[in-house]
Copies of this chain bind each other. A is one copy, B any other.
């Protein structure tokens, strides 16, 4: 089963554009990576590439930071969220496999 790699999660946006999209400085964006809040990929030449999903996460981070929340705390909140999302995703995938094996019953 092919993983989606959708428009939302495909990492293709460079840091300058992410900066425009989020209002954050490039320094801030790189720092949040250092603190493990986001995980850009690297292009062949080594420049950071972000997804729309990363941009949304960064906007969340910016809001939390404005409230004075420390990066370490934001990190653990994000981890919780990621775990949930992963569970939802796994659940959907299993459901897909069941449908494939036994056919779709639900109308």
Q: How many copies does the complex hold?
A: 2
In the complex formed, the residue of B with least CB distance to A44 is: B20
Enumerate chain B residues within 8 angstroms of A10, measured Cβ to Cβ: 52
- B12 and A17 contacting across the interface, CB-CB below 8 Å: yes
Q: Which residues of B contact A49 (CB under 8 A)?
A: 17
Q: List 17 A-B contacts (CB under 8 A).
A: A6-B7, A7-B7, A7-B8, A7-B52, A10-B52, A12-B12, A12-B13, A12-B17, A12-B21, A13-B13, A14-B14, A14-B17, A16-B43, A17-B43, A17-B49, A20-B43, A20-B44
Chain A positions within 8 Å of B, measured between CB atoms, are 6-8, 10, 12-14, 16-17, 20-21, 43-44, 49, 52
